[in-house]
Every structure is written in structure tokens, then in C-alpha cells.
Amino acid sequence: MSPATPQYDALTDRFTRIHRFAHLQHMAHWDQQANMPPSGNEARSAALAEMAALLHRLRTDPELGGGLEAAGHESLSDQQRANLREMRRQWEANTALPEALVERRSLATSRCEHAWRTQRPANDWVGFLPNLKEVLAVTRETAQRLADRTGLTPYDALMDQYEPGMTTAKVRQVFGEVRSWLPGLIRRVTEKQAREMVLQPHGPFAIEAQRGLCERVMQLLQFDFSAGRLDVSAHPFSGGVPEDVRLTTRFREDDFLQSLMGTMHETGHGRYEQRLPRQWLGQPVAEARSMALHESQSLSFEMQLGGHPGVARLLSPMLVEAFGDQAAFMPGNLHRLLTRVKPGFIRVDADEVTYPAHVMLRFDIERALVEGEVEAEDIPALWDAAMMELLGIDTRGNFKDGPMQDVHWPEGLFGYFPCYSLGAMYAAQWFAAMRREMPDLDTRLDEGELSPVFDWLDQKIWSQGSRWTTDELALHASGETLNPAHFKAHLESRYL
Amino acid sequence: MSPATPQYDALTDRFTRIHRFAHLQHMAHWDQQANMPPSGNEARSAALAEMAALLHRLRTDPELGGGLEAAGHESLSDQQRANLREMRRQWEANTALPEALVERRSLATSRCEHAWRTQRPANDWVGFLPNLKEVLAVTRETAQRLADRTGLTPYDALMDQYEPGMTTAKVRQVFGEVRSWLPGLIRRVTEKQAREMVLQPHGPFAIEAQRGLCERVMQLLQFDFSAGRLDVSAHPFSGGVPEDVRLTTRFREDDFLQSLMGTMHETGHGRYEQRLPRQWLGQPVAEARSMALHESQSLSFEMQLGGHPGVARLLSPMLVEAFGDQAAFMPGNLHRLLTRVKPGFIRVDADEVTYPAHVMLRFDIERALVEGEVEAEDIPALWDAAMMELLGIDTRGNFKDGPMQDVHWPEGLFGYFPCYSLGAMYAAQWFAAMRREMPDLDTRLDEGELSPVFDWLDQKIWSQGSRWTTDELALHASGETLNPAHFKAHLESRYL
């Protein structure tokens, strides 16, 4: 018996093959960050560029275009039709880019990211700049190609790859609103917190103890260690594949909160990946919906849960076990530590109140860079001005804690930053929906019961993969599309 | 200006591409052994099978066959001609195997090896057997295909992939000779050593201290850590790529000698890879000459150097630093410890005197398996009989320390085992040649100077890659082809 949907089935075979090659790419990329010794980089970059080119060829094979057309006429289930929609979306993005450009981009970003690892601690902006300029050049060319195909502006075309449907206009509207109340909120919160008494933990905190703590917390957050690991890299990230999730963190002996919160963040990403619909893995419909949705998971873990008094109660005995008894580890004090608001240099260390400021300044700069309104040389001045305006911080000459702090630009991930703050807004929206559905949620969290949160996220977000568009998913999950009012309400309720 | 050798140049481009894809394959394979959590295996196996199939297609592309033919008529340098010879050799072996078989083999060995990791400690021969039978089935089919192409017997055709030019007849001649004097030598050595007083080190030996010790010893052996790493896996091996060598070991708290000697062994492999001719990397002529030559390097490090009194003198203070002062760590006692001869179950833990017995029994069994004279079910009985005959050891029912101890069969590496003992013979031959050229070699080793050995190996072996055939290389390096008399002389001189 021949299958009823031969064209569609042939497409799924192709995508399964792509998934398998991408597996090797993701693992080599993770290894490059987590394990690779420095002299291995040239060969690795060449190998990754070769793989990027192969994947690009597979994803842009003209036969695939014909198959997408033909499969549309077959009798498909809703799930299959959603898969076909996602296949088409990827096809459109991929066919916009010639192979030589994809290869050049892979090489430029590998080189820039690798050099950045030593240039950043050395505060070496001058050494970093030529590599970044090359990354920016291929990024602009990429953006232009995508813009030509989609009719979007170059920056919107990049953003569309991470957050389908999101536009500069929409981001500006949402961020504009946040800008109107954020500086005032930061002021009120910091004034209020200045009157609170908070005990600081005493270090040093042994790296091995921190590692053990992070793994215990990942277990608490129900990360599946039979299908994933925690390792160390210069810039923490969630990598690997859904079947084998590789989270990374970094440790400092004088501060365990950074790695602890970072690990909670990455665990949110990791659980989303681990719980994507397994029976569809390898197909576009099984992939995470979007990057803002992904960040909504990491921030649900790091911020929504991490800042909850019930979670502080769970963490408290774990800290005592890891580092010995300290008054600072008492639940109430720990909760105050985990919800401290303080303008600072580093985005990944920022609290959830000042975080949007970091994102807004990056959005403004990278949009202007991509649209050709400014050049890479202009970044420090723009950075310094925005940091002073938004957070009152002087960053002049401090490149390593300024525009060199993030891996995104070295890796060519322009258009990604807005997803962090959109994700924070979605996370607030999810918890508002949970509280409507489960009025006793905070009581249960206070009693140390986290499963209601995980079950809700699993059912509404993780298990849905890319079955729906972002707007549809948000509507199904919470009864409305993105509504930043929940974020404001969350911050005011938690911090004022 | 068009190149003078367009066909040859096109071939080198192809092989560079293959080298880059193989990079990802090797890294994913290393990760599978060193890092991967258990639930990741199914996706990894599928990804590796997909890559094996791709590499097979690239290596058997009909255009490649035409190019090899055409390039032969171009005006090539000696080095280029050697490269072309190696390209042809690989082409012959690869085109003998259909893609479906390569894929089946990759799947079968991935599954078998992965299950073996838990089956071995559980002594679960019954669970292991069906997987091994499937590996044996694809191995026999592979061997038959290679035999049809080469005119060799099936087992010789497998062996030829690891040790080009080696035959069962030659192995039997060499091993037959060893068999004639080995049991007598083992008896005389063990009797002599029974009269020696040897202090045993007192454990436990902390894993972290062992890891530090192994890394210090690798530095002593001039392993380049900027282009490689040491990690942990169930079965120690040297993996990765020449540009980024990944060695593995395993630690036991009650015994540091196993990881120490294993690490010295893998470091020999690793330095060979790291010192292959860099300007030719990616081309077949830059690959290690053969597996016996590779083992001659690991055994030069582990046995020739590891059993030298001068090296015991270098290791002694490192042991004291790692584990604290013990009388057992005094150089003289340490040297006796490192040259202890004792028949035992485990090949990788065997001393250099009893080691050939382990190899000879595996050679007999795997040759008969491949040639269809016996079946996988017969292995335990054959194993038990040979262990009793050669080493006087009862292995009945002890599968985990018997036929399940090695990763080779689960991974489908039939035809490899003889290389270990051929390698030991070559290693003895290299040191005999060094001593002829440098009569003061032992004095210099006794004074802690290892560079003369490394310089000789680098110049004669490592930097030569596959420029010569094995016989030519041995002739250039030592003035003669394989001569097992040096091995016998070495053992008698060191142990009697």
C-alpha cells in the first residue's frame, strides 16, 4: 500500500535527515564553547562552516520547494498542516541566503567568538573591532537578502528569524511603554529596598560546592539528567539537542548567586527542549515556538520562580548543605537577596526590574547597526550614553563590562535581544494566567510544590512545540496575545 | 594561471571536505564516550549513522574514481604521488562497501557499544549476545565485500584496513614464534620476580589527585594541551582529530597505576596525531601510517619509557606530590612496580610480557568468527580454554573480565587486535635503532632527558605521516622491516 501522503512523507524524511546533521552541528558547537582547547579552533571553524554549507544545501534543495508545493494538495491532519507551515517558513528564510554567504557568516562568527573569549577579559576593544566589523558586514548582507525576500526592513527580517511576526514597530510600541514607567519604578524600588536590611553571604564559595548546588537545583526544577548535562563555558547557554540538552554555566569563587540564577535560567530553556513533543522530534512542528517563548521559559524559572518566597524556602537548606550555615541563607533573607534591584553593568546579572534597560539599549544600537545608520566604531559612545541615561552608570573605556559583555554580536545574533524582554513579559502573562486558573498557586509554591507550574507550562507551552503561531499559542495558553500590562503588574506587586 | 595539476588539486579539495566532516564525526563519537547521558544515545546513533552514510557517499563518489585515474597522469611531486597512492588505497576499501551496509554497521555498533557499557559491569553476556551477533553479521558481510574486492581472505581484508599489507600468514608466523618462547619466559620472569621485594602503595588515591598526576605526566611527555584534552570514559582511547586530540582514561580509587599507565599509553597515540605533518593535514598522506605503527607509539610511551628506570625516577616525585610520601614511591621500588609481570584477566592492565598472550587468543577467536568457523555463542568456551592454556587463568562465567572486557568487538573493530602486539614489536625495534644511533640513550634517560626519544620518533615516524608504506617507513627509520627479534631481546634484557 502506498502512503496517502507521499509528498508530505518525503518531506518529513528530508527534515529528519536535516535534524540528524544539525545534531552533530549543535554538539560540535557546544563542545567548542565548553571543551575545545584554543588550537583546535581553526579546524573546528572549518568543519562547522562545511556543515553549515551542507545544511544550507539540504534546506534549500529545489526539490524541497516542489515538495512543499505538492504536499499542500495532500490530505493532511491539523498537526501535519502545522508542520508543513513551519517547513515553508524555514524554506522561505533559507532560500533567501546563498550558500557562500552562509559559509562566510559561519567562519566570521566562529573566528570572532573565539577571539572574543580572550579579548573580553583583556578589555581589548581594538582587537575585537575588526572581527566584529566582518560579522556586521555579513549580518547586513544577510539582513538585506532576507528583507528582499520578505518585504520587511533588514532588522525586522533578522528579528523574524527568532520571533516570527515581531516587528520594530511593535517592539518600539511595547518598549516605549516600558520606558515611560521603568526609570520611575527603578527609583521607587531602590529607595524602598535601601531601607531593608539584607545580610550578604560570606565567601569564598568553592567551585565544586557550587557545581553540586547547581545540579541539585536543576533536579529540584525537574531537569532530566538522563537526557542532558551541566558544564562550564565563558558565556552560559542552553545547547545540544532536545534528546540531549547541554546547559552551561560559569563559576566565580566570590559569588554563587550568578551561577545559581544563571543555571535556573538555562534550566528553563532546557526543560522546554526536553519536553518538546517527542513523537514529532526532527520535524519543524516539534521545535520551540520562538525565542521570546523560549526566554519566557528561562525567565519563568529564573525570575518568576527564582524570586518567589516559596522557592527561597526550598533553596535555603541546599545553600546550607553546599556552603555551611550562614544567617544570610535564611529563607527571608535569601528571598531579599534574590530580589535585589540594583542598576549594574552586566545584563545576565541584572535583576528583572533593570533588565529591560539593558535590552532596550541593545535593541536601539543593533537596529541602527543593521540598518546602516551607525558603524561598529560608534558602539562605545552609543553604549556609554544609553547606560548613563537609562541606569545612570558610567561605562566609558570599560568595554569588557560594556559592549563586549555578550556573546550575541560576536556570534552574529543580531535581532535576538528584544526576545529577552518580550520573554519576561510572556512569563508574567503565564503566571497571571496560572493564578487565574489556580487561585491557590502561591500557597502551593510557598509549601514547596513546584509541579503545578511545570505541569501548566508542559501542557500549554512545551508539549505544543510549533503547532500554533506565537499569537495563537499565547491565546490558547492565557486567553490573550502579548499583553505587557502583566509584566508591569508583576513588578509592582513583587517590588513595591 | 590555471594550476599545473588540476585533477590532483580537485582531489585534495574533496579530501579536505571529507576531513572536515570527519572532524564532526570524531568529536561526536568522543562525546558519546566521554560525556553523553544515556537517553541521548538513540538520537546520537541516528546522527552518526547519517554522517557515516554521507562520508561513505563522498568517499565513493564515482567522480572521485575518475579523478584518481586522471591525476595519475599529471606531473606530481613525490609527496603528491604518495598522497595519491593513499587516496587510491582508501578509495579501493570504500568502494567495496554499499552505503546501506555502512549505515547498518554504524547503527549496530553504536547500539552494541552503548548497551555494553552497562552490560559489562553487570556481567550480562546473555543481554550482550544478540547485539554482538548483529555486529558480527555486519562485520562478516563487510569482510566478504572487502575480500571480493581485494582477493584477500575475509579476515585479512579486515586487517588490511588497520594494517595495510599484513596477512594472517605473516601474523601466524610472528605469533607462532612468540608462542614458542613466551610461556617459558613468563615462567622464568615470574620466578625471578617472586624473589624480589616490592612495596605496594597504600590507597585510596583520590580521583582529583590522580587526574592532576595524569595531566602532569602528559606534560612531562610533552603532550600539547593547547591542542588536546584528557577526559574520562569507560574504555580509554585516543580520539578527536590531529588538531584537537581527545584522550580518555578511567580512574579507580584503589589503584592509580591503571590510569597512569593508560594515560601514558594514550599520550603516545596523542603525540603521534599532534605531530602529523601539519601542512598536509586533511590529506590521506598526513594520516598515521597504520594501527601497528600507532600502537608502536603508545607502547613506546607506556612500555618502553614507562618501564625504564630513568622514567621511574621522574615519576617518583610526582607521585609524592599527588598522594603524599610513601616508601613505595621510591624510584627503585616504583620501577619494580611498573615492570611487574603477572598473568591477569585484563588486556589493558597487562604487563608487556603477558600482553601478547591476550592478543594471540583474541586473534585466534576473531579470525575464526569472521571466517565463519565459529559463532558468537562459542566465544566464552574458546576464551576460557585459551586463557587457561596461555596464562593458566580460570575465566569461566566471568564475562566482564573475559570476552566483554574490550570495546573492540562491540564497536566492530575485528582485525585490529594483532596491531597491539605488532606495535610492541615495532616499539622494541625503534628503541633498538635509537640505541644504535645514540649509545648514550640510557644514560640520558637515566638523567631524566626524554627529548632524544621524542625527537627521534618525531623525525622518523610522526612527521612522516603516510608518506611511505609501513615496510618502507620501518626501513627508513630502523634499517630493516619488522623484526620481532628486537621484542624478544628487549623482554629478556629488561626482565631476566
| pLDDT single digits (tens) B404-441 | 999 999 999 999 999 999 999 999 999 999 999 999 99
Note whether residue A82 is domain-resident. Answer: yes
Of the residues A15, A19, A23, A48, the best mutation for testing chain B's interface (the one with the most B CB atoms within 10 Å of its CB) is A23
CB atoms within 10 A of CB B491: 24
Query: For residue B382, is pLDDT > 60?
Result: yes
Q: Are strands A238-241 and A244-249 parallel, antiparallel or unpaired?
A: antiparallel
pLDDT digit string, tens, across residues A384-425: 999 998 999 999 999 999 999 999 999 999 999 999 999 999
Distance from CA of B356 to the nearest CA of A (A): 36
pLDDT of residue A2: 52
Which entry of B86, B163, B266, B352 is annotated as an active-site residue?
B266
pLDDT of residue B235: 82
Q: Phi, psi (5° rounding) for residue B457?
A: -65, -40
Note whether residue A194 is domain-resident. Answer: no
First to last CA, chain A: 66
CB contact under 8 A, B23 and A37: no
Distance from CA of A327 to the nearest CA of B (A): 32
Side chain identity, residue B395? T
What is the Cα B33 distance to its own chain's centre?
16
pLDDT digit string, tens, across residues A56-99: 999 999 999 999 999 999 999 999 999 999 999 999 988 998 88
Which residues of chain A lie closer than 8 angstroms to B49, CB-CB? 20
In chain B, the residue whose alpha carbon lies closest to the alpha carbon of A243 is: B40
What is the distance between the alpha carbons of residues A37 and A140, in angstroms, rounded to a whole number?
31
A294 Cβ contact partners less than 8 Å away, ≥ 6 residues apart = A269, A272, A288, A419, A423
Distance from CA of A289 to the nearest CA of B (A): 21
Torsion A350-A355-A357-A362 (CA) sign: positive
pLDDT digit string, tens, across residues A327-338: 999 999 999 999
pLDDT averaged over chain A?
95
What is the distance between the alpha carbons of residues B381 and B85, in angstroms, rounded to a whole number?
43
Which band of pLDDT confidence, cut at 50, 70 and 90, is reported for residue A3? low
pLDDT digit string, tens, across residues B215-241: 999 999 999 999 999 999 988 899 999
Which band of pLDDT confidence, cut at 50, 70 and 90, is reported for residue B348? confident
CB contact under 8 A, A37 and B241: no
CB contact under 8 A, B244 and A20: no
Distance from CA of B247 to the nearest CA of A (A): 13
What is the distance between the alpha carbons of residues B355 and B348, in angstroms, rounded to a whole number?
8
First to last CA, chain B: 66
Distances (CA, A) of A488 to A178, A182, A340: 8, 9, 17
CB contact under 8 A, B37 and A228: yes
Side chain identity, residue A261? M
Note whether residue B336 is domain-resident. Answer: no
What is the distance between the alpha carbons of residues B93 and B147, in angstroms, rounded to a whole number?
10
DSSP A24-44: HHHHHHHHHHHT--GGGHHHH
Side chain identity, residue A59? R
CB contact under 8 A, A43 and B241: yes
**Residue B98 DSSP label:** -
Note whether residue A179 is domain-resident. Answer: no
Q: Are strands B244-249 and B238-241 parallel, antiparallel or unpaired?
A: antiparallel
**Residue A301 DSSP label:** I
Nearest to B47 among A23, A36, A54 (CB): A23
Nearest to B37 among A46, A48, A225 (CB): A225
In chain A, the residue whose alpha carbon lies closest to the alpha carbon of B45 is: A20
In chain A, the residue whose alpha carbon lies closest to the alpha carbon of B230 is: A35
Which residues of chain B lie closer than 8 angstroms to A229, CB-CB? 35, 37
Helix (H/G/I), strand (E/B), else coil: A8: helix
Note whether residue A32 is domain-resident. Answer: yes
In chain B, the residue whose alpha carbon lies closest to the alpha carbon of A19 is: B47
DSSP A239-273: EEETTEEEEEE--BTTBSHHHHHHHHHHHHHHHHH
| Number of CB pairs, chain A paired with chain B, less than 8 A apart | 103
Q: Do B132 and B151 contact (CB within 8 A), yes or no?
A: no
In chain B, the residue whose alpha carbon lies closest to the alpha carbon of A46 is: B20
CB contact under 8 A, A31 and B31: yes
What is the distance between the alpha carbons of residues B6 and A88, in angstroms, rounded to a whole number?
40
pLDDT of residue B284: 97
pLDDT digit string, tens, across residues A106-119: 889 989 998 998 99
Give the domain extent around B106.
6-124
Note whether residue A107 is domain-resident. Answer: yes
CB atoms within 10 A of CB B437: 13
What is the distance between the alpha carbons of residues A403 and A28, in angstroms, rounded to a whole number?
27
Note whether residue A73 is domain-resident. Answer: yes
Helix (H) or strand (E) holding A71: helix A62-71
pLDDT of residue B2: 52
CB contact under 8 A, A47 and B23: yes
In chain B, the residue whose alpha carbon lies closest to the alpha carbon of A47 is: B20
Query: For residue B20, is pLDDT > 50?
Result: yes
Nearest to A44 among B21, B244, B281 (CB): B244
Torsion B477-B481-B487-B493 (CA) sign: negative
Query: For residue B1, is pLDDT > 50?
Result: no
Which residues of chain A lie closer than 8 angstroms to B28, CB-CB? 23-24, 27-28
Q: What percentage of chain A reaches a pLDDT higher than 90?
A: 94
In chain A, the residue whose alpha carbon lies closest to the alpha carbon of B225 is: A37
CB atoms within 10 A of CB A447: 11
Query: For residue B162, is pLDDT > 90?
Result: yes
Note whether residue A62 is domain-resident. Answer: yes
CB contact under 8 A, A241 and B20: no
CB contact under 8 A, A20 and B241: no
CB contact under 8 A, B51 and A244: no
What is the distance between the alpha carbons of residues A113 and A131, in angstroms, rounded to a whole number?
9
Distance from CA of A385 to the nearest CA of B (A): 40
Q: Are strands B228-232 and B244-249 parallel, antiparallel or unpaired?
A: parallel
In chain B, the residue whose alpha carbon lies closest to the alpha carbon of A244 is: B40
What's the whole-model pTM score? 0.90
Distance from CA of A112 to the nearest CA of B (A): 19
Q: Please compute, for residue A290, the number of CA atoms within 13 A of its CA located in the half-sphere on the CB side.
A: 28
Which residues of chain B lie closer than 8 angstroms to A24, CB-CB? 24-25, 28, 47-48, 51
Identify the residue with better confidence: B294 or B52. Answer: B294
Which residues of chain B lie closer than 8 angstroms to A219, CB-CB? none
**Residue B202 DSSP label:** P
Mean pLDDT (whole number) for B449-469? 97
ipTM: 0.90
CB contact under 8 A, B50 and A21: yes
pLDDT of residue A405: 96
The candidate with the shortest Cα–Cα distance to A21, out of B98, B10, B20, is B20
Query: For residue B3, is pLDDT > 70?
Result: no
Burial B351-376 (b: 16+ CB within 10 A, else e): bbbbbbbbbbbbbbbbbbbbbeebeb
The count of structural domains within chain B is: 1
Mean pLDDT (whole number) for B360-369? 98
Mean pLDDT (whole number) for A257-277? 97
Q: Apex CA A433: angle with CA A432 and CA A436, to 5°? A: 90
A468 Cβ contact partners less than 8 Å away, ≥ 6 residues apart = A82, A289, A476
Mean pLDDT (whole number) for A358-362? 97
Q: Apex CA B143: angle with CA B142 and CA B146, to 5°? A: 85
CB contact under 8 A, B244 and A46: no
Q: Are strands B228-232 and B238-241 parallel, antiparallel or unpaired?
A: unpaired
The candidate with the shortest Cα–Cα distance to A282, out of A242, A247, A245, A244, is A242
pLDDT averaged over chain B?
95
Which residues of chain B lie closer than 8 angstroms to A23, CB-CB? 28, 43-44, 46-47
Nearest to A43 among B35, B42, B244 (CB): B244
Which residues of chain A lie closer than 8 angstroms to B27, CB-CB? 27-28, 31
Distances (CA, A) of A352 to A312, A328, A363, A418, B238: 16, 21, 17, 14, 46
Nearest to B227 among A35, A37, A229 (CB): A37
pLDDT digit string, tens, across residues B68-107: 999 999 999 999 999 999 999 999 988 998 888 988 998 8
CB contact under 8 A, B37 and A243: no
Interface of B with A (CB under 8 A): 17, 20-21, 23-25, 27-28, 31, 35-40, 42-44, 46-51, 54, 224-229, 241, 243-244, 281
What is the distance between the alpha carbons of residues B158 and B174, in angstroms, rounded to a whole number?
19
Q: Please compute, for residue B254, the number of CA atoms within 13 A of its CA located in the half-sphere on the CB side.
A: 0
**Residue A255 DSSP label:** B
Q: What percentage of chain A reaches a pLDDT higher than 70?
A: 99
Interface of A with B (CB under 8 A): 17, 20-21, 23-25, 27-28, 31, 35-40, 42-44, 46-51, 54, 224-229, 241, 243-244, 281
CB contact under 8 A, A42 and B228: no
Residues of A belonging to the active site: 266
In chain B, the residue whose alpha carbon lies closest to the alpha carbon of A230 is: B35
Which residues of chain A lie closer than 8 angstroms to B44, CB-CB? 23, 243-244
Which residues of chain A lie closer than 8 angstroms to B25, CB-CB? 24
Residue holding cell 628486537? B486
Distance from CA of B416 to the nearest CA of A (A): 27
Q: Where are the beta strands (DSSP E) in B182-288?
A: 228-232, 238-241, 244-249
What is the distance between the alpha carbons of residues A487 and A353, in angstroms, rounded to a whole number?
10
